[in-house]
Structure 1
């Protein structure tokens, strides 16, 4: 008669008749039942599997080595049948325990759909981006496309090709931020932070013949001391229109339309002579104060008008630079106008922002007002 099968020791079979084999395998089955009672967690299920079915040190392999391989030929069939029944019983225990463990894990992760959900705050456009997109949409409706360019530019594209020759006094008004260690380069090749988005205008003309209708939004840099209305970083939107028979009347009509779309149909525009190196003639544009209807208030300094942008007809000298790469820009055959406005200033007017630094602070208390 065999001993009770427990621990790691595998006892020898007392004999090979069916009664003795049934008793030995029943003892092992009892051990399986006892150890299966602790299968409450995935770790316990895995430990049970390794203990019984491990390929190198599993108890079932040890039983096979001790009982089946050493048995006489005539007993191997009887032992093999009982061994297969035992193995199937262990695998069934494992499958049942695994399903129960998985169900328990799912129960612990189950979501109570009756609970209130986590509120996710929706973002909103920054007032600068919102104003920029509004301007782009206005000009898109009258056939202008959008151009972009790098913030680091050469002196040639930022100044020279726009009729700012070396030594021109207008260069001093730009308060340029230059890139370090450029002294050994020729002046036109020296790198700087663009002071306006105008370089995209000349590059566009170099790349495509007229007609051209383009607006260029973007970040620009100037060495300005920061205060309530000035920042060394700000945003501009410039425009360029080139074709045959473009006149100052076209420029006035375009800007009058844009200002009415932006501030309301009651807004009026007026033009005053000015000077810009890249336009001739040039003008400053004022709009009637949209806050007081032109009657006079603190925002318009009681004048009834607010100066908002600059513009003019493209100087033939600028077409001359473009003509070096694109012969179609013959100033005797084509004409055009250009304009530029500060997106930051328009945003401050529209939303009543008194300090430009608020738009660059990243303060959520400020930004949440526009959500």
Structure 2
């Protein structure tokens, strides 16, 4: 085989594998040389119609990837004209053995896509899952579309898989498929943790494998992978706790460890009694999900001593949001000073420390 044909084959295989496995480099993705980039007008906007976007995306992925062998043959005919790929009278047994499987695989991909598309997507695997969750399936799809618009959803992308957790749904979007399960039916287990010491940024990273099982036998189980530093964000969004095997030790990021220490200190500080006749509490201004849980009250030193100042704001924040606010205002280059540092009140900017945050006595 000619050198040009060998180089073309190597480049095509490399690009094809990266696309099929969803491991396309960021530079190529930014240039729009991926399926979502090339077919963005056909796929639509996932923010406007999440389910329809993935119905079209997965179908297109199956067609394109099963047509890759045929595309390879067509390209090879231009790179290496001596093979006479377009002249059946000059075909050798080798040429025929290349054309025949390529055309067959491509037709299989087209048949699968037509099967999924006909009858208004009723046979698509994603539609089948939605139909088992309720009828009509578009009503269930509408619920997913609405929750996908929420800005507080959890999103994690690793390789060719994207995990999305909304208030009610756990969704895994793969290159050729979409797995989804309602949170009320989900049982999650941390099955394994693997560490990678040699990374591009020179830092050790831990990745967790979490099995998502359904109490509904109609739905198959699936596994998700994510960076252990995202574990706390995932658990905050889940309605049920995740079971962890005894042999698995989850590494937390420095920020997560500090937030845990912040919460423990607040619990040791004691309780703040809301004065009688105070206005009713409104949802936390940070997350709008729960009622306020903490009050800033200077107790670390006498009123006029130290950096901290008295805060006269009414309770407006939950413990989780307050801990994240405090952590975000610390010097990232001096983690040793975080525990003894201060932060401004989110509302009045009065400085406070960890000793000045008290849980509400409701």
Taking structure 1 as the reference length, the TM-score comes to: 0.22
Bigger RCO of structures 1 and 2 (CA < 8 A, at least 6 apart): 1
Q: Could you tell me the TM-score, scaled by structure 2's length?
A: 0.22
Larger radius of gyration: 1
